[in-house]
Structure 1
Amino acid sequence: MNAVYGKKFALFGAILATSIFAEHCYADVGSPPQAQAVQRLFECRALTESAARLACYDAAAASLQQAEQQGEIVVVERQRVLESRRALFGFTLPDVSTLLGAEADQLNEVETTLERASFTPGAGWTFYLADSSVWRQIDSTPLQFRVREGLPIKIRRASMGTYFLKVSDNPAVRAKRQ
């Protein structure tokens, strides 16, 4: 009987150790590592003597500028990141959240207008939008609308990697970006 309890205790210990190790490994997954050149710049703030701090800032700024000129560091404004996310909305991509900002900033909906649309019997609608994206209907929901340039389009994330596309006041249809 003690052998059974010993095995259970060993199994419990292994599970506990694994969970502690996993928690340690994934603790900082959400925050991207900071570039060394940027970290050196921030470390200068800790210096109390003015001349040393100024020398540190000058050296760190020069290092940061050199890293940017050599393409080792890329500085991008938030607006440009948002524009990139909008342009990529609907595509299946590898996880690049650490490059494009925090997961909380994930784009879940896009509003644009229709440029043109075409219907293929048995295949559904294909929508050509003002933002240069092309979306294809992937369900059989019937749509009744007169195709006109400028109709409002709203696309939002749905479950399992799909999207809902809504034309004006029509019901939303499942769609996929082409």
Structure 2
Amino acid sequence: MVNSKWFFTGMLSATAAVAASLSIPAVAQETDRKKALTAPPAIYTDLIACKDVAEPTARLACYDDKVTALQTAQASNQVVIADREQVREARRGLFGLTLPRIKLFDGDGDEGEQIEAIEGIIQSARTIRSGKWLIQLEEGAVWQQTEPPRSTMRRPKAGDSITIERAALGSYLAKVNDGRGFKVKRVAN
């Protein structure tokens, strides 16, 4: 007769071992995906590799070839070259949107910080069927109120200043003219 306690424990151990072995490729794939998203493009690494060419004429030829390739890629929008201020402005414009995890938008590392709040001017504000506010900023971003409106809430209107900041659990809080805050989500542009 088989000891049922040992058999059950053995089955759990075997199941755990199979689950662990199946998760290893998933972890490796995620690591590879993260590396691919944060690694510099090949056209850049090829250019940097030219510095290792020992012979001066060959090194110059390498640089000329790779710089021409980089110029062509940049002119055809295959590669985008941006300075820190352009990256900050892009992050500000994308505040509130769900973005892919790439180094440009991360905010980790020394090339940038994560934006915690934006300030703007309301271009238009209107209520939608649910009675919630739909607010468009002058920059074009559209935000929608996510909680039922309060009777004490001041009506937002064109020309009002608005501050939208990160809140708990991935939510956002809007304040019109430094008034009482209300939760919003970005819905367009």
TM-score between both structures, scaled by the size of structure 2 = 0.68
Structure 1, unpaired ranges of 5+: none
SS at structure 1 position matched to 2:31: coil
Pick the aligned partner of 1:29 from 30, 33, 36.
33
How many angstroms does 1:58 deviate by? Answer: 1.6
Amino acid at match of 1:132: G
Report what 2:24 is aligned to.
20
Structure 2, unpaired ranges of 5+: none
SS at structure 1 position matched to 2:68: helix
Spell out the pairing of 1:18-167 with structure 2 (5 A cutoff).
Answer: 18-31=22-35, 32=37, 33-91=39-97, 93=98, 95-98=99-102, 100-102=104-106, 104=108, 105-115=113-123, 117-118=125-126, 123-139=131-147, 140-145=149-154, 151-159=160-168, 162-167=171-176
Aligned pairs, how many?
Answer: 176
How many angstroms does 1:26 deviate by? Answer: 1.8
Identity level (%): 28
CA distance in 1 between counterparts of 2:90 and 2:33 reads 22
Amino acid at match of 1:138: T
User: What do the CA deviations read for 1:37-88 (whole angstroms, capped 9, x no partner)?
Assistant: 2121111122233333222212211222222334432323343333233233
Pick the aligned partner of 1:168 from 161, 164, 177.
177
How many angstroms does 1:173 deviate by? Answer: 0.7
1:81 and 1:18, CA in 2 relative to 1: closer, same or farther beyond 3 A? same
How many angstroms does 1:149 deviate by? Answer: 6.0
Is the Cα contact below 8 Å between 1:30 and 1:102 reproduced in 2?
Answer: no
Amino acid at match of 2:176: V
Is the Cα contact below 8 Å between 1:115 and 1:149 reproduced in 2?
Answer: yes
Is the Cα contact below 8 Å between 2:43 and 2:70 reproduced in 1?
Answer: yes
CA distance in 2 between counterparts of 1:4 and 1:119 reads 60
CA distance in 2 between counterparts of 1:141 and 1:21 reads 50
SS at structure 2 position matched to 1:136: strand
CA distance in 1 between counterparts of 2:169 and 2:137 reads 23
Is the Cα contact below 8 Å between 1:138 and 1:175 reproduced in 2?
Answer: yes
